[in-house]
């Protein structure tokens, strides 16, 4: 069986625990978020009104949308509070040789 194709998208040491790091992967923007030493990859667009999540605050395993304040669980993409009601996309991540790799 062939697994997902992982692509190296950023060096692990450029990530911070308090802000998302945006990367372009196959024509789409993905946010890398570091929390408690673990890296999560999520969609850069909010599921509420399609605004950018890139500048959202990252804390305690969630990212908040700068537009209207919805927060999303970094691991599952599930919304944690209104006005968002549907999840955002999340992507598999692995670390290899100090690089963050994402499967899109």
- Cβ–Cβ under 8 Å, residues 15 and 100: yes
Only one of the segments 4-12, 25-33, 36-44, 64-72 lies at the binding site for ligand FES (rule: CB under 6 A); that segment is 64-72
User: Which are the contacts of 32, defined by CB distance < 8 A and separation ≥ 6?
Assistant: 9, 10, 15, 20, 21, 22, 23, 39, 40, 41, 93, 100, 102
Nearer to ligand FES, 64 or 100 (CB): 64
Binding residue for ligand FES (CB under 6 A) from 41, 43, 48, 90?
A: 48
CA 6 to each of CA 27, 36, 51, 91: distance values in angstroms, whole numbers, following the listed order = 15, 22, 27, 10
Contact characters 77-96, ligand FES, x per CB under 6 A: ------xx------------
Place of tokens 């949308």: 65
Nearer to ligand FES, 81 or 96 (CB): 81
Nearer to ligand FES, 55 or 99 (CB): 55
| 63 is a contact residue toward ligand FES (CB under 6 A) | no
The footprint of ligand FES (CB under 6 A) covers 46, 48-49, 51, 65, 67-70, 83-84
């Amino acid at each position: 069986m062939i697994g997902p194709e992982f692509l190296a998208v950023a060096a692990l040491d450029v990530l911070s625990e308090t802000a998302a790091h945006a990367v372009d992967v196959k024509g789409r923007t993905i946010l890398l978020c570091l929390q408690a030493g673990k890296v999560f990859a999520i969609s850069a667009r909010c599921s509420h009104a399609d605004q950018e999540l890139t500048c959202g605050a990252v804390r305690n395993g969630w990212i908040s949308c700068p537009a209207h304040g919805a927060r999303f669980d970094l691991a599952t993409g599930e919304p944690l509070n209104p006005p968002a009601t549907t999840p955002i996309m999340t992507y598999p991540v692995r670390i290899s040789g100090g690089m963050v790799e994402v499967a899109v």
